[in-house]
Amino acid sequence: MTAHADGEQPRTDCRFVRTDRSQIEVTGDDAVAFLQGFCTNDVVKLAVGDGCEVFFCDAQGKTIGFAEVYRSDSGLEVVTAPGAATELISHLEHFVVSEDVEFTDRSGVWATIDVVGPGASSVCANVGRVTLDATPLTAAVVSAAATLRLNRNHGEYSWQFRCPAESCSQWLEKLATAGAREGDAQTLTGMRIVAGYPEFGAEVTSSRLPQELARDATAISFNKGCYLGQETVARLDAMGRVNWLLARVTRKGDEPTSDAVEFTVEDKPAGHLTSAAVLDGNIVGLAILRREAVRVDGIVSSNGCEWRVDPIADLDD
């Protein structure tokens, strides 16, 4: 690759955005066993450096959190939506009796930078000076304090730097020098929508059930032991269906749309929009829709506008 005269690399099909995800450190002799009892995935099977997606549920099986959990030398790291740490810690601490477990909000200590686009892998390998592991949610150490993870939250080429907040500006500069462009929240949201990744506070709310959010294969273990909310999750698995599903929706347009969009099918309520962004001349969104409205080439309407439905989960009926 030929360098520019100013020392920078040519611009690549890659963007970076400082996202500052909430980060919770879970430590203590009982850290792993405790969290295993309050999330939907099998965190006890994680090797150091590996991670998985999880939902946190209430006693009724409704989702009160969605995160990536990583195994560390000292316990576990929980990475979730910005601003979500306090509520999640409060929920978990409520159930601590005599267990040796401690929750520490590290959101202000650690920064996250999402690097996305087809050129992201080469840029990240260049900046981190490492050979990257293409296994999702597996960490590559790039310095004494920084790591890189392929999380695919924003598509197939979606990497996340985790670094001390005090050195974040240096990593941002390195990414720009390597040829990446600074992106914005709108672009990142659009890519998240296309990837079908639900966000806590938008798609993941206390009114939703885990199986409604199209993450069965990545965030739910149907073979692990008991956890809070498991009875509902297991019953839905045995029944084989939920009444609502997360789906992508799209319509032509280049103006931002309000998230307060209600959908109908044949004048009957069919669901609502949860996230939206303008991307490549279209308005793309995620929506919670009635199951019967989620089908290939389906159409839902809102105020006279038609939106094309694109299922995220595999439909078996």
Q: Are residues 79 and 206 in the same domain?
A: yes
Q: Does residue 286 share a domain with residue 213?
A: no
Identify the CATH number of the domain in which residue 86 sits: 3.30.1360.120
Tell me: do 35 and 112 sit in the same domain.
Answer: yes
- What is the domain-level CATH number for residue 283? 2.40.30.110
Does the reported pTM lie above 0.85? yes
Task: Look at residue 235 and tell me if it is in a domain.
Answer: no
- For the chain, the domain total comes to 2
Q: Same domain for 111 and 215? A: yes
Asked whether residue 207 is domain-assigned, the answer is: yes
Give me the chain's average pLDDT, please: 92
Is residue 264 in some structural domain? yes
**Same domain, residue pair 279 and 136:** no
107-154 pLDDT, tens per residue? Answer: 999 999 999 999 999 999 999 888 887 888 988 888 778 999 999 899
Note the pLDDT of residue 1.
26
CA gyration radius for the chain? 20
Q: Select from 123, 109, 147, 146 the least CA-distant residue to 20.
A: 109
Separation CA 89–CA 52 (nearest Å): 19
Whether residues 79 and 192 share a domain: the answer is yes
Report in angstroms the alpha-carbon separations of 243 from 78, 175, 247: 30, 44, 13
Q: Are residues 280 and 163 in the same domain?
A: no
For residue 251, give its domain range: 243-311
Residue 118 and residue 251 in one domain: no
Q: Distance from first CA to last CA of the chain, Å, rounded?
A: 50
Across 282-293, average pLDDT: 96
Residue 194 within a domain:
yes
**Which run of H or of E encompasses 21?**
none
Which stretch of 41-45, 61-65, 70-74, 134-138 has the lowest confidence by average pLDDT?
A: 134-138
Banded model confidence at residue 87, pLDDT cuts 50, 70, 90: very high
Q: Is 5 part of a structural domain of the chain?
A: no
- Going by pLDDT thresholds of 50, 70 and 90, the confidence category of residue 241 is confident
Q: Examine the domain organization and report whether 249 and 206 are in the same domain.
A: no
The answer on 298 and 199 residing in a single domain is: no
One domain for residues 166 and 304: no
Is 4 part of a structural domain of the chain?
Answer: no
Domain match, 109 and 247 both: no
pLDDT at residue 11 is higher than 70: no
Q: Which of 30, 28, 24 has its CA nearest to residue 54?
A: 24
